[in-house]
């Protein structure tokens, strides 16, 4: 039987006062810690029970740390392939997060009449705290209205033709390489192809958006330290992917003071300032309309703040994803000589003059170029983020498993694009010929799977057509005009995946072909 012993304590008045001052706060902190701990345990157990029937890594059942570690590793695409191989098409990767690699499920979640909505992660992409854009808007009605305002510009049905802007920047890229980076026998002028491709996509999107490029290619440098700051921001985005609730902390004072603003001289804030200056200039009385995307948005009735937000969004989102697609496709060609030679032979048969850029319809009609582009997109989907959708309140059956409402279901693009059930045993190999050997129906079905990398239904990427033009024409013109040799074959390019791909140090030796 436990014995309780009471020991009297005599304190001087001052000491007693000090004891009362310190014991209360210490007790309060202890109680608070205990309550927080109990609350976390209760919540963790509840989360575990809700999805305990879905397979996945043990740590992911209890904590977001599994996802944080994989997102921070720079090899997130490999982690997604690995969990699909080990656990199947539906995998638990967090307390309330699943990932799915079944194409039919991904289409179902985004279908026109689907009850799924965008997941919590999308809110972390707000440019202005409390204000949504086409990416962050989770309300279906408002999202549909925004898409309606933007659709004409992306379809090219407005007064401008965006292919002209792509051609201008392709010629500028060729001019830069021709005049600065051609190596001769006995001399080496190494060029970081990853950086030049990023410059190209940034100048394309600014050209078609505002009617004038930023000038990355003309200056041949990282203007506004954009690429540098973009790379430093990705770890934050990775953390928000795993724990979206952190955005509620980031957007509060005083941390919100550190967010980009249009008054910054570098990085995202500088781009916001540039977008604002173009919008303000175009809205001034007496300004001359230009045949570009900005004008199309203005004519659709967008507000001033919406114009600034959406011009910024398309610059960032459009340049990051498209540059990743071009980089990876070029790297695959440079390391697969037979594929590169076959593509160059197909392009040479066109007999186009150097002054002419291959027209988009011609590029799309070339069988092997089309196969190369599709294979590049399949092997390395332009985005590796999850793009979670939220299960409707009544729950749903996914891959034969009941998933409760409120669960976040991510798109496992990386796993889906290499799944043996879809692509066969060689799904992890870059082999454009697979597209030429399929019959018409099979190719149609497989192309539809690759297209899922750009979303589908209500959430299909509005810039898909523009991205296709950039990738097809960009890859074709570079390999048609130049030969590239990787400077360091053992480390051809630094490539990291998280929410987005980051690429750098793609050093090549360039010589002219024509």
d(Cα 116, Cα 113) in Å, to the nearest integer? 9
- 20 falls within a domain: no
Q: Does the annotation list 461 as a binding residue?
A: yes
pLDDT at 5: 39
pLDDT at 417: 98
| Residue 353, SS3 per DSSP | coil
- 84 falls within a domain: yes
- 103 falls within a domain: yes
Over the stretch 291-305, which tens digit does the pLDDT of each residue have?
899 999 999 999 999
- 36 falls within a domain: no
Kindly tell me if the per-residue pLDDT of 391 is higher than 60.
yes
Residues 488, 494, 495, 496, Cα dihedral to 10°: 150
- Pairing between strand 507-512 and 97-100? unpaired
- 46 falls within a domain: no
d(Cα 141, Cα 204) in Å, to the nearest integer? 31
Most confident of 280-289, 306-315, 369-378: 369-378
pLDDT at 496: 96
pLDDT band at 78 (very low <50, low <70, confident <90, very high): very high
Kindly tell me if the per-residue pLDDT of 17 is higher than 80.
no
DSSP for residue 492: -
Kindly tell me if the per-residue pLDDT of 45 is higher than 80.
no
| Dihedral sign computed on CA atoms, order 509, 493, 371, 357 | negative
pLDDT at 26: 57
- 32 falls within a domain: no
d(Cα 51, Cα 30) in Å, to the nearest integer? 32
| Mean pLDDT, residues 299-312 | 92
Instruction: Please give the tally of structural domains in the chain.
Output: 1
Kindly tell me if the per-residue pLDDT of 8 is higher than 50.
no
Q: Partners of 484 in the beta sheet?
A: 510
- For 403, phi and psi rounded to 5 degrees? -120, 120
Higher per-residue confidence, 514 vs 473: 473
d(Cα 122, Cα 119) in Å, to the nearest integer? 6
- 47 falls within a domain: no
Kindly tell me if the per-residue pLDDT of 24 is higher than 90.
no
pLDDT at 3: 42
- 28 falls within a domain: no
Kindly tell me if the per-residue pLDDT of 448 is higher than 60.
yes
pLDDT at 38: 66
Q: What is the CATH number of the domain that holds 327?
A: 1.10.630.10
| Mean pLDDT, residues 57-71 | 95
Q: Which of 45-54, 168-177, 185-194, 412-421 comes out lowest in average pLDDT?
A: 45-54
pLDDT band at 237 (very low <50, low <70, confident <90, very high): confident
Q: Which of 115-119, 304-308, 338-342, 420-424 comes out lowest in average pLDDT?
A: 304-308
d(Cα 296, Cα 13) in Å, to the nearest integer? 78
Range of the structural domain that residue 295 is part of: 55-512
Average pLDDT, the chain: 89
Element (H, E) at 312: helix 304-334
Q: Which of 36-45, 76-85, 497-506 comes out lowest in average pLDDT?
A: 36-45
């Amino acid at each position: 039987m436990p014995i309780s012993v009471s020991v009297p304590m005599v304190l001087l008045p001052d000491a007693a006062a000090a004891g009362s001052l310190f014991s209360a706060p210490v007790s309060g902190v202890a109680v608070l810690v205990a309550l927080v701990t109990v609350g976390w345990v209760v919540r963790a157990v509840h989360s575990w029970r809700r999805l305990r029937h879905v397979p996945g890594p043990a740590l992911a059942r209890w904590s977001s740390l599994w996802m944080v570690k994989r997102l921070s590793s720079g090899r997130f695409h490999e982690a997604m392939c690995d969990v699909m191989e080990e656990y199947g098409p539906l995998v638990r990767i967090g307390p309330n997060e699943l990932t799915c690699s079944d194409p039919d499920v991904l289409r179902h979640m985004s279908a026109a009449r689907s009850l799924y909505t965008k997941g919590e992660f999308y809110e972390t992409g707000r440019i202005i705290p409390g204000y949504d854009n086409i990416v962050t808007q989770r309300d279906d009605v408002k999202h549909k209205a925004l898409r309606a305002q933007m659709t004409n510009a992306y379809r090219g049905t407005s007064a401008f033709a965006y292919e002209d802007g792509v051609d201008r920047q392709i010629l500028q890229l060729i001019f830069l390489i021709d005049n600065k980076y051609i190596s001769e026998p006995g001399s080496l002028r190494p060029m970081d192809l990853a950086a030049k491709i990023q410059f190209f996509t940034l100048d394309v999107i600014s050209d078609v958006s505002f009617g004038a490029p930023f000038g990355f290619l003309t200056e041949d440098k990282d203007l506004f330290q954009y690429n540098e700051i973009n790379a430093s921001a990705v770890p934050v985005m990775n953390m928000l992917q795993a724990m979206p609730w952190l955005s509620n902390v980031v957007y509060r004072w005083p941390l919100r003071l550190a967010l980009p603003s249009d008054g910054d001289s570098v990085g995202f804030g500088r781009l916001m300032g540039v977008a604002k200056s173009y919008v303000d200039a175009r809205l001034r009385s007496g300004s001359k309309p230009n045949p570009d995307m900005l004008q199309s948005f203005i004519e659709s009735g967008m507000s001033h703040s919406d114009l600034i937000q959406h011009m910024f969004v398309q610059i960032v989102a459009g340049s990051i994803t498209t540059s990743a697609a071009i980089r990876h496709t070029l790297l695959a060609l440079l390391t697969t000589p037979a594929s590169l030679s076959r593509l160059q032979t197909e392009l040479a048969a066109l007999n186009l003059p150097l002054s002419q850029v291959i027209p988009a319809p011609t590029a799309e009609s070339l069988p092997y170029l089309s196969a190369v582009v599709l294979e590049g997109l399949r092997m390395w989907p332009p985005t590796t983020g999850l793009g979670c959708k939220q299960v409707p309140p009544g729950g749903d059956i996914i891959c034969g498993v009941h998933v409760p409402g409120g669960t976040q279901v991510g798109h496992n693009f990386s796993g889906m694009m290499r799944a043996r059930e879809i692509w066969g045993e060689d799904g992890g190999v870059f082999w454009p010929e697979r597209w030429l050997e399929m019959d018409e129906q099979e190719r149609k079905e497989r192309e539809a799977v690759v297209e899922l990398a750009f979303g589908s239904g209500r959430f299909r990427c509005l810039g898909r057509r523009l991205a296709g033009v950039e990738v097809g024409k960009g890859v074709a013109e570079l390999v048609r005009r130049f030969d590239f040799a990787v400077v360091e074959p053992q480390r051809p390019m630094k490539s990291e995946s998280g929410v987005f791909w980051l690429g750098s140090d793609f050093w090549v030796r360039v010589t002219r072909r024509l």
